Structure 1
């Protein structure tokens, strides 16, 4: 997906817990959450989470919602969210159900099932597509841009092969759209089959499609993209094949939790098909394995095995995470429509605690801001190595824009990415912008078509934003400088890019100890900042640096 430049602005949503029975058209009253759990979740809402949480099974039942759906109306248990790539789990269920019925086999080649498909994609097996081991590489369309069925088949037929099929893992949205095309071919209609066989339990619909029909019933949350309300709120007229099968579905958090539990308990597809689901795997070699539509995590990481899927971060501005804990028979779903604390952040914090029967960790407390202290910290601070921090006071803390690789690196902290991950991502971006790969040569052609000759490129640091690594770079042309950022996949393909970007911005909140902490998105160590005598001291995983006020 290629994003249009946007203006980054802080847009905090009000955080208020809503009991499920207060939502519009709630129907039968759903179980209320344990008060201690609601209290803990409320602290995450204070830290910026806006969305909904649902837990079912294992002796815990909970439906809770926080923040606002559209800036005014509150999120409730009835609020619908786009679930992004969690949709792949639903596509996988459709395929496994058809395999269980004998309509296809996992070792069938895609080209034998879908007339008109050519190239390496035609030789990929259904199982390889399910596990992202087909080796297929390429993009078949951009989010929310019209793409019909024939155009999708033609685009996927043009995919290249990155490795010997079955020998490695390479995440592919196009591979899952190809699976949706196979469902369409075998059943006569992908959407009708999904609505009638996969998204329906006991005669009741469990969500639907974000764009088009059958739509997910209920009021929709408005997402946030780079600080601005999303404009992709379900009005896209289609055709939809750029996202079919790989990121097209929408539902409430409660729908997602209930469907996940029903899936793994053999109510969506047969118990035999569930055994195929959990037994068809590609071992990642790190305690995790890819299974169709999901990632299976062994017990060593959190003390109990679990299965999970996450999606979002696209143009809808929504994120969603689903977790299945088989030993407990518990399902957890989190959906979000804010950028400060996304669904994956909250799920990562609460799922291990719920699995262990322990208290849910909460973000570090937020001290009351002193307006005079905040105003005194404002200004531009320069590191000895040249990077700068521009500090501006807000009502509750400080906003810091970091310019330069040294400044951005010092502010980096992540529970999901290591320094090695950052270095690998920066190497991929450097190779891309040097034109050392096929994707890089295509990107340079596109850039120079828009900007003219690029004289040189300087990397400007990497930040984790919206759950992904974004490496910033300055492009130098005859007309001046342009800041861009790239989020790449593990093979150097462009996942997202913004041209004319603003420097990465970080929120600092007072801790009450004469210092500030970067955001409130975790309960452990993070980046801390102190101001004294014209110095700004940043201390975090990368070490400690000092910047002097200009």
Structure 2
């Protein structure tokens, strides 16, 4: 059953802040990719963030030379294998930047024009999307909304083409914006058709070829695989994520996700792209030029998001991807004025690559030392096990909902079941309005009640796995970065199933996890007896305090305080 769709657009809020980066003299890339080299002060700062939970790799490139190339944490905790700069990560939706480059390269070769109708190139394509242009697909303005297949659903090119043709458009092509994985799979089908070599062969033999002849990575599933040792991704619950091995065919994710590479290779490929070594300089300018305006100083470009000077005082482009079954997060940024690339990938949910950028970016922009992680991170002093044992149990709210408290490693983990409990434990931040959360819930309900084309497909998919769905109940909504997730308890033929969905404003599914675990928060002591705060090294998570007194648990946050009584 689908857990998470590849290519969910991550919320980039601080990538541009890496504009002044390291102060060390650049060094030319070493021949041994596992070798680490970074300015000592920056290395110590990133080391502190590693102690606070960051596990992954960092590469900063300027004028084709590395300013920093380092890795932290464990690639595989069970095997005690550390991450190195040579460790391979899934790059998720960053794949779209590669697919866009493949399209621009075909344009350079005279095989297509960006204003060609996709139906003219793929005459077997049916449905309204056939009238969309290649440019509109690149900029997510084709109107395509919804999904054409799951990540690990065996889907042939013909089946993918037919499924995409059946999708309805949210608006006439060229009149709006909605992020579409299906649109980039359609572009991959264009590459497949026009190259005469297949999407995978064309991308790896041509588009990912670095100066000097080396290829930057490959695929996470299937062949040609990205060479090198892989990082195991660890999901929200700490379990290992998908490590490859899906036999395909891969057209649920082809073109919109699925590539993998080392972080230094990602940085080098990005530099080669924007300096006209992957596509012509004219096509590189097309990729770098602001395209469809999205507001707040952002605009869509082919495979990237462009930020103008009004955002952080410097123009830059960025793209990110990750999440889902693999458990990786990757982000890369290009700063044209400084000819600098910043690339980061992570393999745990504790502190993602993007969260690290948000935490350290402002200091880098101002030329200050990187901030230290919050004292509430994993380096914080744990509580004594005996003290925590007295707090473990189930706590029920008077008006419904409950908290389940467990203890491990000197920390408490609290999970919330029911809308009231979820709202108390994970209150929305100031940037998310109550109206927006309620609107999201209504779109999820409309989806699961089968009121839309995609909703009917989703309902049928659920019933195929879990039996007849006879009811559904809202179980709370949380805002996690750019991701709003509405939890729903489904009454099915196999019993109750908890799921969460993230949908766009047009009702299309962007991500889903089925079955899901209740939202949870890890806590550390906050100083007073029986008082705890979130274990959050960035300080950007929910601002709540949890206090225990006798058989009572009180959660205090922006919505106020709620008290739950321990049962049993």
Same fold (TM over 0.5): yes
The CA distance in 2 between the partners of 1:211 and 1:292, in whole Å, is: 25
Given candidates 35, 52, 60, the residue that maps to 1:55 is 60
Residue 528 of structure 2 corresponds to residue 519 of structure 1 = no
TM superposition shift of 1:277? 1.3
Mapped partners of 2:373, 2:32: distance in 1: 34
Aligned to 2:209: 200
Match of 1:45? 50
**2:420 paired with 1:410:** no
Give, in whole Å, the separation in 1 of the partners of 2:236 and 2:383: 28
Corresponding residue for residue 298 of structure 1: 308
Residue 132 (structure 1) aligned with residue 140 (structure 2): yes
1:276 Cα deviation after fit: 1.1
Q: Quickly say closer, same or farther: Cα 1:248–1:330, change in 2 above 3 A.
A: same
Instruction: Compute the displacement of 1:45 (Å).
Output: 2.3
1:409-462 Cα offsets, whole Å, 9 max, x none, are 122257796245433322211222333322223333444555565454321112
1:21 maps to: none
SS of residue matched to 1:134: coil
Whether 1:432 and 2:447 are equivalent positions in the alignment is: yes
Match of 1:165 among 170, 173, 179: 173
Is 1:265 aligned to residue 278 of structure 2?
no
Q: 1:270-349 residue pairs with structure 2 within 5 A?
A: 270-279=280-289, 281-349=291-359
SS class of match (1:201):
coil
Counterpart-to-counterpart distance in 2, 1:80 and 1:177? 23
- Spell out, residue by residue over 1:281-306, the C-alpha distance to the aligned partner (whole angstroms, 9 max, x if none): 11012221111111112233333222
Q: Are residues 1:399 and 2:413 paired?
A: yes
TM-score using structure 1 length = 0.88
Aligned to 1:65: 71
Q: 1:334 to 1:142 in 2, by over 3 A?
A: same
Alignment of 1:225-244 (within 5 A): 225-227=235-237, 229-230=239-240, 232-244=242-254
Query: Take 2:470 and 2:273, find their aligned partners in 1: how far apart are those partners?
Result: 54
Shift of 1:229: 4.1
The counterpart of 1:146, out of the listed 154, 157, 163, is: 154
TM-score scaled by length of structure 2: 0.86
SS of the residue corresponding to residue 269 of structure 2 reads helix
Q: Distance in 2 between matches of 1:306 and 1:511?
A: 39
Distance 2:528 2:266 in 1: 41
Quote the residue 1:378 is aligned against.
Answer: 392
Measured against aligned partners, the alpha-carbon deviations of 1:2-43 in whole angstroms (never above 9, x if no partner) come to 239xxxxxxxxxxxxxxxxxxxx9717856222332233233
CA distance in 1, matches of 2:469, 2:224: 47
Moved more, 529-538 or 108-117: 529-538
Alignment check: 8 A CA contact 2:33 2:85 kept: no
User: What residue in structure 1 maps to residue 459 of structure 2?
Assistant: 444
8 Å CA contact 1:473, 1:483 repeated in 2: yes
Q: Distance in 2 between matches of 1:141 and 1:346?
A: 32
Structure 1 residues 87 and 225, CA gap change in structure 2 (3 angstroms): same
User: Separation in 2 of the partners of 1:325 and 1:199?
Assistant: 21
Specify every segment of 5 or more residues in structure 2 that has no aligned partner in the other structure, as ranges.
5-29
- 1:191 and 2:196 aligned: no
Instruction: State the Cα deviation string for residues 133-164 of structure 1 (Å, max 9, x = none).
Output: 00013433221332222222222222221111
| Segment of structure 1 superposing worse, 486-495 or 208-217 | 486-495
The question of whether the paired residues in 2 share the 8 Å contact of 1:208 and 1:250 is answered with yes
**Aligned with 2:83 (options 64, 75, 91):** 75
Aligned-pair CA distance for 1:129 = 0.3
- Contact 1:362–1:523 (CA under 8 A) maintained in structure 2: no
CA contact (8 A) 1:328 1:355 kept: no
2:2/2:514 contact within 8 Å kept: no
Are residues 135 and 521 of structure 1, via their aligned partners in 2, closer, same or farther at CA, if it must alter by over 3 Å? Answer: farther
Tell me by how many angstroms 1:364 deviates.
Answer: 0.9
SS of the residue 1:137 aligns to: coil
Kindly report structure 1 stretches of 4+ aligned residues shifted beyond 6 Å: 414-417
**Contact (CA 8 Å) 1:129, 1:175: kept in 2 or not?**
yes
After superposition, the Cα gap between the structure-2 partners of 1:88 and 1:446, relative to the gap in structure 1 and judged at 3 Å, is: closer
- Aligned to 1:217, the other structure's residue is in SS state coil
Q: 2 CA distance for matches of 1:137 and 1:500?
A: 24
1:3 matched residue in structure 2: 3
Matched, 1:545 2:562: yes
Q: What is the CA distance between 1:91 and its match in structure 2?
A: 0.8
User: Which secondary structure does the structure 1 equivalent of 2:252 belong to?
Assistant: coil
Check conservation: 2:137, 2:187, Cα contact below 8 A: yes
Indicate if the aligned counterparts of 1:313 and 1:319 stay in contact, CA closer than 8 A. Answer: yes
The answer for the alignment partner of 2:186 in structure 1 is: 178
* Secondary structure in 2 matching 1:165: coil
> Any unmatched runs of 5+ in structure 1?
5-24
Mean CA deviation greater in 455-464 or 181-190: 455-464
- C-alpha separation in 2, matches of 1:349 and 1:141: 35
Higher alpha-carbon deviation: 200-209 or 442-451: 442-451
- Stretch of structure 1 that moved more, 277-286 or 483-492: 483-492
- RMSD between aligned residues: 2.7
Distance change >3 Å, CA 103–CA 224, structure 1 → 2: same
Which of 212, 223, 232 lines up with 2:233 in the alignment? Answer: 223
